[in-house]
Amino acid sequence: MNLTLHVSVAEFERSDAAIKHGISNKMNEFEKERAIELCKNVFEPIRRYVGKPIKINSGFRSAALNKRIGGSKTSQHVLGEAMDLDLHDRELFEWILDNIEYDQAIYEAGNDEKADWFHISYRKGRNRKQALRMIKKGGKTIYVPYKRKNA
């Protein structure tokens, strides 16, 4: 079964950590509805723009999985509202900020030209349009406002 044209339920629920630790990572109907909205409004427009397949590093995370991997207690992954995409280019991230309706877009780690991945979330009718950059400082992960390259 697919959530949208290019995203299957299996792909969105897939987790190496869940498999490794024997944790169930299946969405209920509420979470599937949220995942459909995310994929329809975020993933598919990015996929059309990029013009080729995009790997989802992390989609849905059950509460047990999220706890096991040390995810945020308020992670939108648990609701089916967030995905981490195997995308890296800063120019593409800024295109997303300008062209996609999103709740949070996070340029995760990396350097000024290439992120390690992009985290993007979507909350139908409740999007904050919050752009952040995740950095490591003193061994801790912190989130700061994203600053555009030519700002």
pLDDT, tens digit, 9 for 90 and up, residues 1-13:
999 999 999 999 9
Predicted TM-score of the model (pTM): 0.94
Domain for residue 42, yes or no?
Answer: yes
Q: How many CB atoms lie within 10 A of CB 67?
A: 14
- The residues, ordered by sequence, that sit 6+ positions from 73 with a Cβ below 8 Å of its Cβ are none
How confident is the model over 23-35, as pLDDT tens digits? 999 999 999 999 9
Domain for residue 95, yes or no?
Answer: yes
The number of distinct structural domains making up the chain is: 1
CATH number (domain holding residue 31) = 3.30.1380.10
Domain for residue 150, yes or no?
Answer: no
* Helix H or strand E segment including 32: helix 29-38
How confident is the model over 118-139, as pLDDT tens digits? 999 999 999 999 999 999 889 8
Domain for residue 123, yes or no?
Answer: yes
Domain for residue 151, yes or no?
Answer: no
Residue whose tokens read 């990029």: 50
Domain for residue 91, yes or no?
Answer: yes
Enclosing domain of residue 73: 2-145
Domain for residue 27, yes or no?
Answer: yes
